[in-house]
Chains A and B, each alone.
Chain A
Amino acid sequence: GAGVSQSPSNKVTEKGKDVELRCDPISGHTALYWYRQSLGQGLEFLIYFQGNSAPDKSGLPSDRFSAERTGGSVSTLTIQRTQQEDSAVYLCASSYLPYRGRNTGELFFGEGSRLTVL
């Protein structure tokens, strides 16, 4: 498809289980972002990948969260030992250019993966 693809669209898991969320960005986009959107909240930055550079992991809320991007394309966000507070919509976005201040780069978002931790 032409847009950012995320899977699964919905995931219900039990507390303590590990989950993997996948993002397939738009072909040719070098920048990839993960955001988290909780009910009533804005988008919370989690992690950023740009080309072969080291990712910016400064937004990851704990060491239970990790992400990787293989071959500069597909990315996987892994949450270990899930907690109820991890319940949220996890949004992935890609961009042709990294968004840097006055650079008018546009982020293209996927539809998100809704995670529910029981």
Chain B
Amino acid sequence: TQLLEQSPQFLSIQEGENLTVYCNSSSVFSSLQWYRQEPGEGPVLLVTVVTGGEVKKLKRLTFQFGDARKDSSLHITAAQPGDTGLYLCAGALGAGSYQLTFGKGTKLSVIP
């Protein structure tokens, strides 16, 4: 059983379109992070959300943490080819937890 379910698994869109990817769980997380991974590289942190209902914006990316701290979403406005990559959500289950649990990721392709 996957603790963090990400959807969709694959997404192919045209440049300029908007998109949302989701990260869901039945467990409550103390905090949640989103990473982006490009082929042949390690994941790179995009954002950390810690408060239920929190919304963070990073240029064209908007991240939301659910009120119950069980889910999160990433919205990209006017996607660009440079947004192509694997988007991973990762969460820590408890306040004292140092284990980050990762979802399987959403593989995004933005076609010029």
Cβ contact within 8 Å between A99 and B104: no
User: Which residue of the partner chain, among A4, A50, A58, A99, contacts B100 with CB atoms under 8 Å?
Assistant: A99
Q: How many residues does chain A have at the interface if contact means C-beta atoms less than 8 Å apart?
A: 31
Secondary structure class of chain A's binding surface, majority of residues:
loop
Residues of B within 8 A of A (CB): 2, 4, 6, 30-31, 33, 40-45, 48, 50, 88, 90, 92, 94-105
Some 18 contacts from A to B, beta carbons below 8 A apart, are: A35-B102, A42-B103, A42-B104, A42-B105, A43-B88, A58-B99, A91-B42, A98-B98, A99-B100, A101-B96, A101-B97, A102-B92, A104-B48, A106-B33, A106-B48, A107-B43, A110-B42, A111-B42
How near does chain A come to B8, taking the closest CB pair, in angstroms?
A: 14
Bound-state Cα–Cα, A59 to B48, Å: 23
> How many CB-defined contacts (below 8 Å) exist between A and B?
78
Residues of A within 8 A of B (CB): 4, 31, 33, 35, 40-45, 48, 50, 56, 58-59, 91, 93, 98-104, 106-112
Cβ contact within 8 Å between A48 and B99: yes
- Which residues of the other chain, B, contact A98 by a CB distance below 8 angstroms? 98
Bound-state Cα–Cα, A56 to B100, Å: 13
Cβ contact within 8 Å between A107 and B104: no
Cβ contact within 8 Å between B50 and A104: yes
